[in-house]
Structure 1
């Protein structure tokens, strides 16, 4: 193999990692989530803009507001997961750029002065960060159940604001009984990769 990463870590992060559909009742601690974020915040984004924002749904009251906004097939697992995270793109991420780029303060206006350009940049780069977040959850020895089946307008109204666009919702925890569906096939190298 020409990969530097230890094979056990490769398995943990990719080969044996699966999207969990049931979870045990073991809690996910604030320390675990902080460790996940402190690891994945280093994943690259354009201009290091880091537009991902995460809302952790922990309280019973918040869970009661969220579950009805999930697609029918996602409601039960969202109701019982130890932790649920709403991942959103901050369309006003450019307001943070001066502190991220103190030597280049004009980046805020030079590249992102128009809202449509900011929304496009926020969506793409926050989605990239969402992928890092899932790998970070796996690196913590937890399972992630990412979902896009939800009422986006409802989630935005209940948990976010007009400057934040929900991208996905992730159930997080230790897998429970019958957590896995059969693994779906993936494209082979020759089917996915072209050299020019």
Structure 2
């Protein structure tokens, strides 16, 4: 019988049980090397057709943060400006152009090129998956994360993706948590409330 090899409890705690959505950050810089290491982890997460439709803008400089500020909801401004980096997780609306290289099993490009609804749904679903991989990769590297959707997508797209090819999905603030910015954890639904085994 094949034996499962679980991660150590400390790793599971860091990724899930102790990890929190962070709403305040200490002034601790995140280096280029860390951002490259972050991507080098998250890129291995699976996506449909190996499409990898997510695109990332690491908003770190004061100038870039000010460019982002007008699009943020009022409740997200302080934490976003305090975060060492804010990642704009976007989706490439023409991700299928890369499929001949990324998915050589067969020519899947025409499938998406001819079906705008399928292409949009695939980009949205899989860039969301990749954003989740980013959060877990950040936690694995010792960073804290604060994902958020409180923003005006049209403003972000206009400011950062004016040619229209990329479209924002959501934002993730990254850095080292300020304990004062950690709110009490909300309860989670139990297995019997959300799942069934058939």
Describe the SS at the equivalent of 1:183. Answer: coil
Q: Distance in 2 between matches of 1:91 and 1:5?
A: 36
Q: 2:114 is matched with which residue?
A: 113
What is the root-mean-square deviation of aligned Cα atoms in Å? 1.4
Q: 2:159 is matched with which residue?
A: 158
Q: Distance in 2 between matches of 1:79 and 1:40?
A: 24
Could you give the per-residue CA deviations for residues 97-144 of structure 1, whole angstroms, max 9, x where no partner exists? 11112453x211134422222111100111011111110110010000
1:179: Cα distance to partner? 2.1
Query: Runs ≥4 in structure 1, deviation > 4 angstroms?
Result: none
Distance 1:111 1:151, change over 3 A: closer
Of residues 170, 178, 181, the one that matches 2:180 is: 178
In the superposition, the TM-score normalised over structure 1's length comes to 0.94
Distance 1:89 1:133, change over 3 A: same
Q: Which runs of 5+ in 2 are unaligned?
A: none
Alignment of 1:4-43 (within 5 A): 4-43=6-45
Distance 1:89 1:78, change over 3 A: same
Alignment of 1:40-59 (within 5 A): 40-59=42-61
1:62: Cα distance to partner? 1.4
Q: Distance in 2 between matches of 1:110 and 1:169?
A: 29
Describe the SS at the equivalent of 1:19. Answer: coil
Q: Which runs of 5+ in 1 are unaligned?
A: none
Q: 1:74 is matched with which residue?
A: 76
Query: Between Structure 1 and Structure 2, how many residues are aligned?
Result: 194
Could you give the per-residue CA deviations for residues 49-75 of structure 1, whole angstroms, max 9, x where no partner exists? 010100011222211111121010000
